[in-house]
Amino acid sequence: MTQKTLSIFAVFILIAGMFLVSAEAPIGNDSGSSEASTQTETTTSVQTYIKGDLNHDGKLTPGDLDILIDHLYETLNPLPNPIDYQIGDMDNDNNLDISDVTLLIQKLIDLGYFKDTTAPVIKLVSPSDNSDFTTSKSYKTINFRYQVTDESNIAICKLILDGDVEETDSSIERNITNSFSIDADRGSHDWKISCTDAKGNVGVSSVRDFDVNKESTSTDTNSNYQTLSNKATTTTPATTKTDSGTSTIIAKPLAKTEFNWMYVLFGILVAMIIVLLIMIMVVGRR
């Protein structure tokens, strides 16, 4: 082999080596692109879940609550996916229980589900309609009793007397008897109860009437008797003469005569003496 042939062979080997190296090496920044591609695939493979979204529709609905209650208390069926145990764990205590149900319900309420739009229902207990009260004072202490029922807690109740708010109470219990106690003046009144629940719904009861009258006393009775006695006093006419010569009749009351028992006893005694004398005379003639 000549020197010229060896030189050509060496050049050929060099070119072949360069070609192999360029074929194995990445072009440009292919290494970084490969890492980015791998990272993108990893990110897209991780799915994000909403706490409580057990039906995987991307939002919280009452259907999620049905699944959780069904699993815990009704059919006791296991959740479809292992990840659902983490999704349903609302308080993150690694346990599904009633607290998770409560938290999920509260989330749904905050989202506008289960909204209470029903007004409280109020039942008046006492006093009954058209009740009459008597008092020797200028007022009468009366207890107004009522019951209220509602889906939500009761925020406040008001006693409305004659159209005005007389008393308020913010510690109301549902389904039991509550009451207001006030001093009502003598006279005729009407009353009703108004209650507002925690959702702002207002309920108003029916209206009832009652009267507070003055209590009759012995003084009142004597006064009435005296009035009737005065009315029974007779009068006698008296004539006066005016400057014009005409007469005017003026009625003057007669003096009242008082009944004296002494005269009665004296009369009886006299009658007895007369009878006795007559009897003596009759007996003497015989």
Q: What domains are defined for the chain? A: 62-110 (no CATH), 116-252 (2.60.40.10)
Walking along the chain (286 residues) 10 residues at a time, the average pLDDT comes out as 50 51 46 42 59 91 90 82 90 90 88 86 97 95 97 93 96 95 97 93 97 80 53 49 48 54 82 84 76
Tokens encoding 77: 């069926």
Q: What is the pLDDT of residue 46?
A: 56
- Spatial separation of the C-alpha atoms in residues 175 and 198, rounded to whole Å: 16
* pLDDT at residue 220, rounded to an integer: 55
Find the helix or strand (DSSP H, E) in which 210 lies: strand 208-214
pLDDT of residue 61: 92
Q: Which residues contact 111 (CB under 8 A, 6 or more apart)?
A: 60
pLDDT, residue 274, reads 87
Query: Do 268 and 254 form a contact (C-beta atoms < 8 A)?
Result: no
Question: How far is the C-alpha of 119 from the C-alpha of 117, rounded, in Å?
Answer: 7
Q: Which residue has the tokens 């082999």?
A: 1
Is 146 in contact with 185 (CB distance < 8 Å)? no
pLDDT of residue 17: 54
- pLDDT computed for residue 49 by the predictor: 85
Interatomic CA distance for residues 46 and 39, integer angstroms = 11
Q: Are 86 and 53 spatial neighbours (Cβ–Cβ below 8 Å)?
A: no
Helix axes 62-72, 98-110, angle to 10 degrees: 170
User: Exposed, middle or buried: residue 104 (CB in 10 Å: 0-12, 13-18, 19+)?
Assistant: buried
The burial of 140, by beta-carbon neighbours within 10 Å (0-12 exposed, 13-18 middle, 19 or more buried), is given as buried
DSSP state of 163: T
Q: Of 283, 132, 280, 142, whose CA–CA distance to 215 is shortest?
A: 132
Beta bridge partners of 241: 247
Q: Can you give the pTM of this predicted structure?
A: 0.46
